[in-house]
Amino acid sequence: MTTSLQSATTLHNGVNMPWVGLGVWKVDNGREVEQAVQWAIAAGYKSIDTAAVYGNEEGVGRALKQSGASREQLFITTKVWNSDQGYDSTLAAYEESCRKLGLDYVDLYLVHWPVKGKYKETWRALEKLYKDGKVRAIGVSNFQIHHLQDVMADCEVVPMVNQVEYHPLLQQRELLAFCKEHRIQMEAWSPLMQGNSLDHPVLRELAAKYGRTPAQIVLRWDLQNGVVTIPKSVNESRIRENADLFGFELSAEDMDKIASMNQNKRFGPDPDNFNF
Ligand code: NDP
C-alpha cells in the first residue's frame, strides 16, 4: 500500500490522495515558499497543503508553475478561513484561492475550523462546489466526532477527509476509529509536534534501532496507522528526509511503544474551545 512517495489512499469518491505531502504553514509567501515547494516537487512530493490564512497561496502557485510539474500529477489542498465561512462567502473564497494559486481547481478544499453556527452552511457551499465539478474532493479540518456527526446528520456528501492535529503525544484513537468506520480519511497536521519532543527517549531508541531519524519514525508511524501526513519544512535536506519513509517498516511491538507515548497533549488550539 504505502510503498513509495507516489503511493496514495483512495478517498470515498475514488480520488487518489498521496499519503505524504508538504505543509507550508508559517512559510513566507516569497522565496521561502517557492524554494520549499520546488525542493519538495524535485524530491518527488505530489501534494502541497496550504490555506487562505497562511497568506502564501500565490507563492505556492508560482512555485508550481516554475516546477513544470503537470497539473494532473499534483494534489493541492487549501482551506476556507473562519472569517469567510457561510454559504456565499465560502463560494467567493474558493474562487479567490484558485485565483491566487493560479489554478482552475484545487484537489481538496477543507473547512479550516468548525466555527459554531457557521460550519454547516459552509459545508453546503463545499457540496455545491463539489457537485458543480469545481473541486475534486471536499473535507473538514479540526472536526471532533460530534462535529462530524452534526454535518453527517443531513449532508449530501460525507466529508472525504478530516485534517486534525495528530502525533505520538496526541493520538486521537476514538476520532481515528470513527473516521475509519465512515471512510473519512484522517490527515495529520503538526505530525512532527512542530519540532518539539523529537528527542523523546522512545523515538531516539527506535531511530537508532532502524537507522532512521526520529522524524522518520514518527511519519512512518502515521502511515502504518493509515493517516495521511503533511510535515512542514523549509530545509531541503529535511524535506527529502521527511519523504524517505518507504524503505522500512515498524514492527507491531514498536508501534505499541509509540502508542504508549500518548498524553492527549495539544500544541495547537482545542477544536471545542477556540476563539478565532
Ligand atoms: P510540523 O509538525 O510539520 O513541524 C514543523 C517543524 O519541525 C518546523 O519547525 C521544521 O523546521 C521542523 N522539522 C521539519 N522536519 C524536521 C526533521 N526531519 N527533523 C527535525 N525537525 C524538523 O508542524 P506544522 O505545524 O507546520 O504542521 C504541518 C502542516 O500541517 C502545516 O505546515 C500545515 O500545512 C498543516 N497545519 C494545519 C492546521 C489546521 O488547522 N488544519 C494547523 C497546523 C498545521 P524547518 O522548517 O526548519 O525544517
Whether 166 is catalytic is no
Summarised one tens digit per residue, pLDDT across range 92-116 is 999 999 999 999 999 999 999 999 9
Q: In what order do the strands lie in the sheet with 137-141?
A: 21-23, 47-49, 75-80, 108-111, 137-141, 161-165, 185-189, 228-229
Is the model's pLDDT at 202 over the cut of 90?
yes
Is the model's pLDDT at 2 over the cut of 90?
no
Atom of ligand 1 lying closest to residue 234 CA: 46
Maximum alpha-carbon separation in the chain: 53
Cα 77 to averaged position of ligand 1 atoms, centre (Å): 16
- The residue nearest atom 34 of ligand 1, judged by CA position, is 23
Atom of ligand 1 lying closest to residue 27 CA: 32
Is residue 205 within 8 A of residue 211, CB to CB? The reply is no
Domains by residue range for the chain, with CATH: 8-259 (3.20.20.100)
To which residue does cell 463560494 refer?
91
Does the CB atom of residue 189 touch ligand 1 within 6 A? Answer: yes
Summarised one tens digit per residue, pLDDT across range 247-272 is 999 999 999 999 999 999 999 999 99
Summarised one tens digit per residue, pLDDT across range 45-64 is 999 999 999 999 999 999 99
Atom of ligand 1 lying closest to residue 191 CA: 2
